[in-house]
Copies of this chain bind each other. A is one copy, B any other.
Amino acid sequence: MVRNRRRMPPRRCTASMGSSNGSESDASDLVMRCLSCEEEYDMDDSGTCRECYQEANEAEEELRREIEELKSKVSFLTLPYPNLNASTADIILVPVDDSDAVPIPAHKHLLVSRSPVFKAMLENDMAERRSGTIKISDISYDTLSAFVNYLYTAEASLDNELACNLLVLGEKYQVKHLKTYCEKYLIAKMNWNKAISNYAFAYQYNCKQLRSASLAVILDNMDLLTQNECYAELVDTNPRLVVEIYETYIGKQLNTAGAF
């Protein structure tokens, strides 16, 4: 918890009466020095006792140790991307709609452990198990490659498009961790321009958190709603969702009015 808003010579917490003018002192004249930022403060701005400060420091150190251990565990458990180790691969994934694509090698046991859909596919007597090939439609080589890489490493270099594409794959193959990872990215990058498209996307792929984050941004900008370039499209493609926006907005207005 050691922060330094302004560097001061460290010293033990001290308190002094500000009564240099000889007048009678009171509580507001007293100043103490914060053990964390080392700045002076008066009693109205007091925070914790010394013991709690020390305990909080120890607790923080303990949390940081736990983080280091977990990071080391993640690093140990992360597997290299299969391209690096293709000689042991026992399955290939093919993005059938990308004519330039080369097949992507992988390991059955890993796919099985990461996705219940791959598990059903590869542990039962299905075409994919017999042929050793999983054909995936409607995606590019780059997206599939990022998807497989994520299954090995739990990492991806996202932009908005890749986050959406991987979230779709996360939903399709029930890779919950990936779906949450992409959803968090989209929420972090949310703004008014993306709010309506994110709202429709979240509805389609069953992302509760993204949906409520988008709705919150939309409700904060109701005066701009009809001018948003995605609005007309949403009215065409999914008018029920537009109705839901208006219903929520009116419901909130009535609630707020009822509170006064």
A interface, CB within 8 angstroms of B = 1, 3, 13, 15-17, 25-27, 30, 32, 34-37, 39, 41, 43-56, 59-60, 63-64, 66-67, 70-74, 76-80, 82, 85, 87-90, 107-110, 112-114, 123, 154, 177, 180
Inter-subunit contact A35/B47 (CB<8 Å): yes
Residues of B within 8 A of A46 (CB): 13, 15, 32, 35, 46, 49-50
| Cβ-neighbour of A112 out of B43, B88, B123 (below 8 A) | B88
What's the least CB distance linking A126 to chain B, in Å?
A: 14
Ordered nearest first, which 10 A-B pairs have the shortest CB separation?
A47-B53, A70-B70, A77-B77, A15-B43, A41-B49, A36-B52, A88-B109, A34-B49, A76-B177, A63-B63
- 16 A–B contacts from the bound complex (CB under 8 Å): A1-B56, A35-B46, A36-B48, A37-B48, A46-B49, A47-B49, A48-B48, A63-B63, A70-B70, A72-B177, A73-B74, A73-B154, A77-B77, A77-B78, A77-B79, A88-B112
Inter-subunit contact A49/B39 (CB<8 Å): yes
Residues of B within 8 A of A60 (CB): 56, 59-60, 63
Which of A27, A108, A112 neighbours the largest number of chain B CB atoms within 10 Å of its CB?
Answer: A27
Inter-subunit contact B52/A50 (CB<8 Å): no
CA A114 – CA B80 in complex, angstroms? Answer: 10
With A30-B43, A46-B32, A73-B74 in contact, is A52–B109 under 8 Å at CB? no
| Cβ-neighbour of A51 out of B37, B76, B90 (below 8 A) | B37
| Cβ-neighbour of A49 out of B36, B76, B85, B180 (below 8 A) | B36
What's the least CB distance linking A178 to chain B, in Å?
A: 8
Which of A26, A35, A47, A59 neighbours the largest number of chain B CB atoms within 10 Å of its CB?
Answer: A47
Inter-subunit contact A79/B110 (CB<8 Å): yes
With A27-B15, A43-B30 in contact, is A82–B56 under 8 Å at CB? no
CA A3 – CA B59 in complex, angstroms? Answer: 11
Residues of B within 8 A of A16 (CB): 27
Which of A51, A52, A54 neighbours the largest number of chain B CB atoms within 10 Å of its CB?
Answer: A52
With A16-B27, A47-B48 in contact, is A70–B74 under 8 Å at CB? yes
| Cβ-neighbour of A82 out of B47, B74, B78, B109 (below 8 A) | B109
Inter-subunit contact B43/A49 (CB<8 Å): no
| Cβ-neighbour of A52 out of B37, B54, B72, B76 (below 8 A) | B37
Inter-subunit contact B71/A70 (CB<8 Å): yes
Inter-subunit contact A51/B47 (CB<8 Å): yes
